[in-house]
């Protein structure tokens, strides 16, 4: 529910903190779980791939269901249940003694992750005033960026000093802080579906954001090449610490997202999205040309500009395109495309890199980045995004 024109309300700050805690807990396991699989459970790299990937798969499967339930059952009850499950599954890593147990736990973790992140995004879209939705969703997304910077560094520090038991326990405590924040948020249930209808495909997906979801899919398809392979590429370039890419990328995101949101609210998406698509394409060209630190760092800057503009703008446009009681379905549809893009991009571009090498894979990504540009300006830029309150 929009609260006048004020953006920085108590509830908006709390939902941003919730997002920060959820993603920080999530990023606790990204750099450390492969170590747990290989060093503790005696698994191999193939096992690591399956263990990491199963969470994304289950999240993809559950997001449409979570969006439907958020719109029909209730925002707050669903996210409280999801966050409680998220806390308990994170703590349950302490009980894992085999690869099979870990695989099953990751699947459950993915279910809670899909519900929790879709729920938080939907509640944020309810709280942000319609006239400042681009700016508000940009600030909301900054929590993801901060978590991406803080989570891995903090988790590796805890692992080195205290071990896996403390690591998993700390991750569950951080997730619990997100639950505490949600409990104190005043969530309106006025936006729920008033009349129960027959279940169809459209109950779980929102057709009005399909074209935006296609844009999101291709954007994150190429982003999968960053998430999965930038560390390996840094080694090829004799760059000792690949973390510098994510540090510069995160700083770039922090700077560009609030500005992009304000431009979108004032002038619409057409101009700002063109800059975003261009930034992503240039980023991949710079990676292809990179021989050392200079182009590698410049690529992180332009990627931050590109992704920092495109991703929150698409989410804001999707929310503006639907009625309040369909925001859950719209959010779930967009996030499903996001997960699918990263997952399929990581796998298929990995095949390309094996055949052609990482540098040419990034060159190909610069051409793939033209696809969402063409889809957007053919399908979405000419359509006014009706603002729903």
Domain residue extents for the chain: 1-187, 205-382
Helix (H) or strand (E) holding 132: none
* Nearest-10 crossing angle of helices 99-127, 75-92: 150
Nearest to 388 by CA among 328, 332, 327, 329: 327
What pLDDT sits at residue 89?
96
The DSSP-derived string for 303-360 is HHHHHHHHHHHHHHHHHHTS-GGGHHHHHHHHHHHHHHHHHHHHHHHHHHHHHH-HHH
Report the CATH architecture of 205-382: Up-down Bundle (1.20)
How far is Cα 26 from Cα 20, in angstroms, rounded to an integer?
10
Confidence class for position 380, pLDDT limits 50, 70, 90:
low
Burial class (CB in 10 A: 0-12, 13-18, 19+), 34: middle
Alpha-carbon dihedral sign for residues 263, 268, 269, 274: negative
Question: Under DSSP, is residue 263 helix (H, G, I), strand (E, B) or coil?
Answer: helix
pLDDT in tens, 174-196: 999 999 999 999 887 766 665 55
Give the pLDDT band of residue 197 (cuts 50, 70, 90). Answer: low
pLDDT band at 321 (very low <50, low <70, confident <90, very high): confident
Domain 1-187 has CATH 3.40.190.10: no
Are the C-beta atoms of 148 and 27 separated by less than 8 Å? yes
| pLDDT tens-digit map of 199-251 | 666 667 788 889 999 999 999 888 878 876 777 788 889 887 777 887 788 88
Q: pLDDT value at position 104?
A: 94
Phi (first) and psi of residue 371, to 5 degrees: -65, -50
How many Å apart are CA 177 and CA 174, to the nearest integer?
5
Residue that wins the pLDDT comparison between 385 and 299: 299
């Amino acid at each position: 529910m929009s609260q006048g024109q004020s953006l920085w309300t108590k509830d908006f700050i709390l939902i941003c903190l919730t997002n920060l805690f959820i993603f920080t807990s999530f990023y606790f396991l990204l750099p450390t779980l492969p170590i747990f699989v290989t060093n503790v459970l005696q698994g191999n790299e193939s096992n690591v791939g399956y263990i990491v990937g199963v969470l994304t798969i289950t999240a993809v499967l559950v997001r449409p269901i979570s969006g439907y339930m958020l719109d029909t059952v209730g925002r707050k009850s669903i996210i409280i249940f999801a966050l409680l499950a998220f806390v308990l599954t994170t703590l349950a890593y302490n009980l894992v003694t085999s690869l099979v147990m870990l695989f099953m736990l990751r699947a459950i973790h993915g279910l809670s992750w899909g519900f929790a992140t879709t729920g938080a995004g939907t509640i944020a879209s309810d709280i942000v005033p319609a006239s400042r939705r681009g700016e508000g969703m940009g600030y909301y997304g900054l929590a993801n960026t901060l978590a991406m910077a803080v989570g891995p560094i903090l988790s590796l520090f805890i692992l080195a000093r205290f071990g896996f038991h403390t690591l998993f326990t700390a991750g569950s405590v951080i997730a619990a802080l997100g639950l505490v924040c949600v409990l104190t948020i005043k969530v309106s249930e006025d936006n729920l579906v008033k009349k129960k209808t027959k279940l169809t495909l459209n109950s779980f997906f929102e057709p009005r954001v399909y074209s935006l979801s296609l844009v999101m899919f291709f954007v994150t398809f190429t982003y999968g090449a960053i998430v999965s392979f930038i560390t390996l590429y840094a080694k090829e370039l004799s760059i000792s610490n690949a973390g510098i890419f994510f540090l510069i990328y995160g700083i770039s995101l922090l700077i560009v997202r609030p500005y992009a949101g304000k431009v979108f609210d004032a002038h619409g998406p057409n101009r700002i999205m063109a800059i975003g698509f261009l930034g992503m394409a240039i980023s991949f060209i710079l990676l292809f040309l990179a021989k050392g630190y200079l182009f590698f760092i410049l690529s992180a800057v332009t990627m931050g500009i590109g992704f920092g503009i495109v991703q929150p703008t698409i989410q804001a446009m999707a929310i503006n395109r639907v009625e309040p009681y369909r925001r859950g379905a719209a959010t779930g549809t967009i996030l499903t495309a996001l997960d699918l893009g990263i997952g399929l991009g990581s796998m298929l571009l990995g095949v390309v890199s094996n055949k052609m090498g990482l540098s040419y894979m990034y060159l190909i990504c610069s051409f793939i980045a033209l696809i969402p540009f063409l889809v957007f300006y053919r399908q979405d830029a000419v359509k006014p995004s009706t603002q729903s309150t």
